[in-house]
Chain A
Amino acid sequence: MGKQSDVVKTESNTSRKIGYALLYLILGIIAVFQVYPLIWLVKFSLKSNREVFSESPFALPTEPRWENYTTAWTQGNIGLYFFNSVWITVVAVVLTVLFASLVTFAITRMNWKFNKLTLGLFMIGLMIPIHSTLIPLFSFFLSINLIDNPIAIILTYTAFNLPLTIMILLGFYYTLPREIEEAAVIDGCSINRIFFQITLPMTMPVISTTAIINMIYNWNEFVFINTFIRSDHYRTLTVGIQSFIGQYATDWGAIGATLVISILPILIAFFFLSNKIVEGIAAGAVKG
């Protein structure tokens, strides 16, 4: 900190100030662009269908329709969907991050012949459009009796997020210093201990990053859940949102309200996890 102020003193003070003012102006404008959708969504959720398509879509609702929230909460099974969304997301995220970390560790830290080939196999996994997979996967899950079973969803989410997660982890593992792990090997640590007690904590920032990304993807996913789950029992919030889109009419206010309800937990989880990105560094630094 002290160093920074030293630098400031040595340079022309006014031009720095103008520079900073400009910088903040630009950053502020971008911030408005990025935060506006949330505000818009809340306004949207309080409108009637008529207002949604009325003169100015960005105006405040004339009379806030809180009943959109009652509709959203009471129609269908939003409570149950909510619970399903939470646990399916959590389980899939934990599995994905754990598996991906194991693979990345094996590829970057261990010596074996096929590591590049294996990496290539995972990378190709990024490239398939999901709509190509629906019919084959449905008939597969049907053949092993997993249709309408949340395990099918969790396995699918894990498999489809693994390539992306591994790719992101990979970039970080390459830049991470190996000295600590090497020292641990010399000390006679087992690989399992190295991985779980040294590498995993050290990669906490990137694990948080991938966890956030995975969480958001799983939370908002609806193509797979809609295809593999047939009973209301295991459906998630995204299906709830879809249920307001009708054959001839769509209840936009209720969709807005469901969207607001569904974004709250993820917003909270996100703020919590995103602090971990910084905390993780600190933890890693202490260990180092």
Chain B
Amino acid sequence: MIKKLFSLILVLTLVGLGGCGPADDPDATDPTPGTDGEVVDESTISFTHLWPAGSSAQHNRIVESIISEYEEANPGVTIDVDVLSNDQYKETMTILASSRQLPDVGLTWAAGYMTPFVNGNMFASLDDVIEDGLGEEFIPGTVEAFSVNETAYGLPLELNIAPIYYNKNIFAEYDLEVPETYDEFLNVVQTLEENGVTPITVGNREPWTGSMWYMYLADRIGGPELLTNAIERTDTFEDEALVQAAEEIQNLVDMNAFVRGFNGLGNEEAKGPFMNEQAAMYMMGTWELPNYTTNEDVPQEFRDSIGFFKFPMVEGGAGDIDSFVGGPGVGLFVSEDSPVQEQAKDFVQFFVERWGETSVTDAGVIPATVVNTDEVDLPDMYIDILDELAGASNITLYADVQMTASVAQTHLDLIQSLFGKHITPEEFAKRHEEALAAEE
């Protein structure tokens, strides 16, 4: 109401301005075609994604080809694409949503990120698309991450897990074996450290990277459900196992396991020492795979020297080595306000299907739909990862994605403090509990 009133006053003042301003006519309406979906006779679907040709050439190309295929198959339908850079995407979506101007189709992240949009009635239910047969194609659990109250509001496009990549040459040099237990792992860390090699590189200026280390320790010590339950408040962060996981992080910090100055390094910067063979291990999502397989910009010898292993078992812990930290990355949403909602749903269905078929071979993306490894020609590391995915006993969604945005912010700050040893494991647990309690 008040917003409307303001707008009215604004319009009046600006019209007044036109009279004294320069030659420009501010009242002229925008002549560019196809920017807004007001004309519906020849339906136009606006679609915003975050893969600019500059940084994500392969993604961009796949999107373009899916769109042209769709337009060919559906005469009269035009897809109007808007590409935003990753840095600006979330902010821009918030601003668009505040004025109910979301594109007809766009990308969203799972769980905590999408909840405000769902609560604000911005996203359309996609249950009908899923019931239309698409449901079976998704890997179990991925659609659930994009659901609120059992209704799906997003169709996942990627599924990643986070293994630990390691440099085989460095391991061989110091006679190290891939660790299967946490004690062996600590031994590896210690040997490397004593020989002046950085054991692990992590860019904890972006604390979601450090959060994954904590999550794995929580999983291996406390079992696959514990952390998720604590976030959902059916259990608590003050559980002994979760506190112990935090202790182990600080123990690793004390052992100099992590690269120097990790709290001041971004993920891209932290990747440097691993790519230059100065650091032996790096935990990251499987979106990194192209760098170790197909990316021609990376020297062949380096790519060949990289392997991965699963986070080792903690003796006496409740965890299982086939449990992973990971989750679907982005998914497609359809706007509730879209004047072409039905057509848009048809488009997302087509998109997900085609994406599933091409993304892994053309862009090295592991889609959230089932990939038939017999039919596609993939580097070995991909096959191995896909096998691990198939045999995974559990995938725990990234903690900061599970949490609501504001608790996630607290969690990320606390991870930095924990790694930086600014707080004790007990405080770490307590502050999580406080933040979660404040949300209720």
Contacts and interface: CB of A to CB of B under 8 A. Distances in A.
Q: Touch between A and B in complex, CB under 8 Å?
A: yes
B29 A145 contact: yes
Q: Which size bracket describes the interface of B in this complex?
A: 35 or more
Contacts of A91: 24
Interface string B84-118: 11111001101110110100000000000000000
Given A139-B3, A143-B11, A148-B30, A245 B86 contact: yes
A190 interface: no
Contacts of A247: 50-51, 55-56, 59, 86, 287, 329-330
A254 interface: yes
Given A134-B95, A144-B7, 15 more contacts: A50-B297, A50-B298, A139-B3, A148-B30, A149-B29, A226-B84, A227-B91, A227-B95, A242-B87, A244-B85, A247-B59, A247-B86, A247-B329, A247-B330, A252-B268
B117 to A, nearest CB: 15
Contact of B275 (A53, A147, A244, A250): A53
Contacts of B329: 247
A144 B11 contact: yes
B78 to A, nearest CB: 14
Given A49-B297, A233-B32, A249 B95 contact: no
B194 to A, nearest CB: 22
A248 B101 CA distance: 27
Interface of A: 48-50, 53-55, 71, 75-76, 91, 95, 134-136, 138-140, 142-149, 151, 154-155, 226-227, 230-231, 233, 239-240, 242-252, 254
A135 B6 CA distance: 13
A221 B425 CA distance: 43
Interface in B1-32: 3, 6-7, 10-11, 14, 22, 24, 26, 28-30, 32
A249 B49 CA distance: 16
B183 interface: no
B339 interface: no
A243 B288 contact: no
A248 B298 contact: no
A203 to B, nearest CB: 20
Given A48-B297, A138-B99, A144-B14, A244 B55 contact: yes
Interface in B67-87: 82-87
Nearest to B365: A248
Given A54-B276, A143-B11, A226-B92, A76 B56 contact: no
B82 to A, nearest CB: 6
Given A76-B53, A144-B10, A244-B52, A53 B83 contact: no
A44 to B, nearest CB: 14
A209 B9 CA distance: 35
Contacts of B85: 239, 242-246
B19 to A, nearest CB: 15
A230 B95 contact: no
